[in-house]
């Protein structure tokens, strides 16, 4: 049996934070939209979200998808939104911690307590949330490394994106557990030799339990939900 991994590497949107698909009601309330105004549901109703299907098939990028949704939502308010952070700031206001998955916080605490290294690997962290949002999320101080393609311009699944993490942490790829909700990014992690978990947004607790298991952390202790 191989030794437990030494580092937990997490995507942010969808893995650490709840997706915008899950928070439509709160978004509609924050923006003053009528209930049900936001109809796109991504992985929660892919058959009725052709744009999501196009993104999953590689026809458009994830950034393309969210820029389209940003513009559409701005138009519902009679406004022109041309930056993704405009959407997030208005949709989630000052309650960023309220959008963080409790399962993520529990797993982060348990990994840190077990002496594991922690990293975020994101394609659009500050691009999506704004450069000052990290100050509102105190748990990020527990992370040893944050790699954000907003600045590197190297997006997953490019192998160089994962190399930023392994080099920055000083760990071999096989000693890192990489968790992402996008299959293409998970395959990118596989390709460089990382241990991977394809995060299921419908089962956050189960996904984190698999990651903790790969880290050798006692799975008899439940991740809170």
DSSP code per residue over 124-177 = SHHHHH-TTGGGG-GGGGG-SEEEEHHHH---TTSHHHHHHHHHHHT--GGGEE
pLDDT, average across residues 184-188: 97
Four-CA torsion 57, 58, 61, 67, nearest 10 degrees: -40
d(CA 152, CA 173): 19
Residue-level pLDDT at 220: 52
Residue-level pLDDT at 134: 85
Instruction: Kindly report the pTM of this predicted structure.
Output: 0.90
Structural contact between residues 77 and 31, judged by C-beta atoms closer than 8 angstroms: yes
pLDDT at residue 225 above 50? no
Query: Structural domains in the chain?
Result: 7-17+97-214 (3.40.50.1000), 24-92 (no CATH)
- 39 burial level (CB within 10 Å; 0-12, 13-18, 19+): exposed
Structural contact between residues 201 and 43, judged by C-beta atoms closer than 8 angstroms: yes
d(CA 104, CA 108): 6
Q: How confident is the model at residue 23 (pLDDT cuts 50, 70, 90)?
A: very high
Question: pLDDT per residue over 85-142, tens digit each?
Answer: 899 889 886 678 989 999 999 999 999 999 999 999 999 899 888 878 888 899 999 9
Question: pLDDT per residue over 143-182, tens digit each?
Answer: 999 999 999 999 999 999 999 999 999 999 999 999 999 9
Helix (H, G, I), strand (E, B) or coil at 10: strand
State the residue for tokens 């990489």. 178
């Amino acid at each position: 049996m191989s030794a437990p991994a030494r580092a937990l590497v997490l995507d942010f949107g969808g893995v650490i934070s709840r997706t915008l698909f899950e928070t439509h009601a709160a978004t509609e309330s924050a923006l003053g939209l009528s209930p049900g105004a936001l109809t796109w549901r991504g992985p929660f109703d892919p058959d009725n979200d052709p744009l999501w299907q196009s993104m999953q098939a590689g026809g458009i990028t994830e950034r393309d998808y969210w820029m389209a949704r940003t513009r559409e939502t701005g138009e519902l308010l009679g406004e022109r939104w041309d930056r993704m952070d405009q959407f997030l700031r208005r949709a989630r206001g000052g309650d960023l911690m309220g959008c963080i998955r409790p399962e993520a916080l529990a797993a982060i605490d348990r990994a840190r307590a077990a002496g594991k290294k922690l990293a975020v690997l994101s394609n659009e962290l500050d691009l999506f949330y704004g450069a000052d949002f990290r100050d509102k999320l105190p748990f990020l101080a527990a992370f040893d490394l944050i790699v954000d393609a907003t600045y590197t311009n190297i997006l997953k699944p490019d192998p160089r994106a994962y190399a930023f993490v392994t080099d920055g942490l000083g760990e071999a790829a096989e000693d890192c557990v990489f968790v992402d909700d996008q299959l293409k990014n998970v395959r990118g992690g596989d390709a460089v030799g990382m241990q991977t978990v394809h995060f299921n947004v419908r089962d956050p607790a189960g996904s984190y339990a698999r990651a903790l298991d790969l880290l050798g952390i006692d799975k008899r202790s439940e991740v809170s939900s």
